[in-house]
């Protein structure tokens, strides 16, 4: 690990960012150019002391996971991310396979969305980032690991995945999941992983096999209604923004002003994760 170059690179990238670039409020009395160390640490999910030691050339080598978190926190491009991995002494993730590195362009948009649920997903429906309102509406989908990180896999293997969708839409949604997996299998960002998901589902889910045999192909399957455990049905209109290679998608869920669903979403933005009923 090149501690000197790493410290200079981290400090320079931190000073290049403004709070508004990462969705933070920019106070009037900021004496620090760019972000504060504690703000970067918060965004990366690490302690301020650990991050400070990296900038002071005193820190131990970060793990691959911590390195990826730093790259996201500092909104690095792919070239900058690869440079960071090299400075720390790790091999950079393959660019055209599944990556935990969220597109900086999508993150900039996500950071500015506070009135609509929004999340960044891959073409295998791995959820990489969510804003607070999306977590309140859908639950934290970034917690899953392994094959279960994929929404395709969870739909057919985890009954809890279906709780946020009305039962009458399950058939349509399942067919859309199978159709999207077929597209990812031949033209996705991580076709080997798509093949592993396919093999698992073919072995363990008769429902998936039935839908797979329909030979349907799709890039996106829309879902217009979400079931919240306490607020009930919320009708949403998904809006999509893709990266250039379509490997990642920013999904924004909007509601029509003046509707009951819009009022429910406004209420959810206030209460967040608080329970409405005992």
Over residues 123-143, the pLDDT tens digits come to 899 999 999 999 999 999 999
- Residue 273's pLDDT is 55
| Domain covering 104-273 in this structure, CATH number | 3.30.450.180
Give pLDDT tens digits for 226-250: 999 999 999 999 999 988 777 889 9
Using an 8 Å Cβ cutoff, are 25 and 19 in contact?
Answer: yes
- Residue 121's pLDDT is 94
How buried is 192 (Cβ within 10 angstroms: 0-12 exposed, 13-18 middle, 19+ buried)?
Answer: exposed
Query: Domain ranges in the chain?
Result: 3-88, 104-273
Q: Which residue do the tokens 């998608």 mark? A: 249
- Residue 253 confidence (pLDDT) above 90: yes
Instruction: State how beta strands 232-235 and 248-254 pair.
Output: unpaired
Copy the structure tokens of residue 14: 């931190």
Per-residue DSSP letters for 1-20?
A: --HHHHHHHHHHHHHH--GG
- The alpha-helical segments, DSSP class H, found in the chain are 3-16, 37-44, 48-55, 64-73, 78-88, 104-111, 132-138, 151-157, 170-187, 191-204, 206-212, 260-271
- Residue 278 confidence (pLDDT) above 50: no
With a CB cutoff of 8 Å and minimum separation 6, the contacts of 100 are 68, 72, 93, 128
More confident residue, 221 or 64: 64
Rounded CA separation 148/127 (Å): 11
Global pTM reads 0.66
Give pLDDT tens digits for 69-125: 999 888 887 768 888 888 898 887 765 445 567 888 888 899 889 889 999 999 899
- Residue 160's pLDDT is 94
- Residue 225's pLDDT is 93
CATH class, 3-88 region: mainly alpha
Per-residue DSSP letters for 85-126?
A: HHHHT-PPPPTTS--S---HHHHHHHHT--SS-EEEEETT-B
- Residue 188 confidence (pLDDT) above 80: no
């Amino acid at each position: 690990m090149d501690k000197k170059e790493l410290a200079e690179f981290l400090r320079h990238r931190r000073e290049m960012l403004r709070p508004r670039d990462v969705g933070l409020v920019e106070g009037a009395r900021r004496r620090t150019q760019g972000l504060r160390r504690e703000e970067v640490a918060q965004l990366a999910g690490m302690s301020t002391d650990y991050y400070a030691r990296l900038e002071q050339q005193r820190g131990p080598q970060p793990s691959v996971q911590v390195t990826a978190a730093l790259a996201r926190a500092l909104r690095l491009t792919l070239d900058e991310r690869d440079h960071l991995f090299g400075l720390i002494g790790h091999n950079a993730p393959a660019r055209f396979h599944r990556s935990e590195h969220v597109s900086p362009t999508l993150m900039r948009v996500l950071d500015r969305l506070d009135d609509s649920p929004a999340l960044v997903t891959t073409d295998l429906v791995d959820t990489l980032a969510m804003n607070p309102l999306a977590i309140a509406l859908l639950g934290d989908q970034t917690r899953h690991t392994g094959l279960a990180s994929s929404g395709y896999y969870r739909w057919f293997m985890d009954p809890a995945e279906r709780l946020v969708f009305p039962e009458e839409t399950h058939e349509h949604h399942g067919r859309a999941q199978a159709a999207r997996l077929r597209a990812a299998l031949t033209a996705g960002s991580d076709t080997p992983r798509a093949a592993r998901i396919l093999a698992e589902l073919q072995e363990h889910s008769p429902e998936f096999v039935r839908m797979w045999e329909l030979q349907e192909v799709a890039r996106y399957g829309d879902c217009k209604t979400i079931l919240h455990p306490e607020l009930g049905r919320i009708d949403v209109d998904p809006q999509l923004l893709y990266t250039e290679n379509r490997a990642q998608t920013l999904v924004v869920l909007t509601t029509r002003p003046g509707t009951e669903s819009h009022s429910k979403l406004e209420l959810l933005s206030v209460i967040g994760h608080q329970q409405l009923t005992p």
